[in-house]
Amino acid sequence: MEILDLIDSLEELVVQARRLPVGGNLVVDRKRMLDVIDQLRLAVPGDLRQAAQIIEAREQVMQDAQAQAEVILRRADEERMRRLDDNALVREAQERGQQLIMDAEARARETIAEADATAAAHLSEAAEAASRQLDDADEYALEVLRRLENQLQAFLDSIRMSIGSLQEKR
């Protein structure tokens, strides 16, 4: 919504501008106009920054899952080594080690899948919001340009009528 407020401020600057007596041009406060444009630039990337933060959070979750998986694998390996000392428990240790590895991999896959889903949802929401804001800005800019085109056309028509009037007097 901040970007829409800034666009309204831009429109207000144009509306409040003084008209020049000749040509119908406007005198706009350049500093205020540039300030509003700078604010617009700062307002747009907010969603993109948020998307980058979401991606960073996803990477952190993935790293944490990987670290957790490594800890589990290390523990499984330590457990296997302890049980190797007793020949009667070798088979049980191997089975337990394999089960721990599979569990760790399954948990890591689940954690990564959840992180991916969360990141994708946040990224999608941010992209949709950014797209809507850009569409609104484009629509507003198009509207302003059409009004400006109509004003310019009216000025041209007035100039042509004045030229025609002057030519008829000669």
Give residue-wise pLDDT tens across range 3-53.
Answer: 788 888 888 888 888 888 887 788 888 898 888 888 877 777 666 667 778
Domain ranges across the chain: 44-169
In the predicted model, what is the mean pLDDT of residues 131-136?
A: 89
How far apart CA 52 and CA 34 sit, in angstroms, is: 28
For 161-170, what is each residue's pLDDT tens digit?
A: 999 999 998 7
What are the Cα distances from residue 35, in Å, to 3, 25, 138? 13, 21, 20
For 48-80, what is each residue's pLDDT tens digit?
A: 667 778 888 888 988 998 999 899 989 988 887
For 84-126, what is each residue's pLDDT tens digit?
A: 666 566 677 788 889 999 999 999 999 999 989 998 888 888 8
Angle between helices 90-169 and 2-16 (to 10 degrees): 10
Q: What confidence score (pLDDT) does residue 167 get?
A: 92
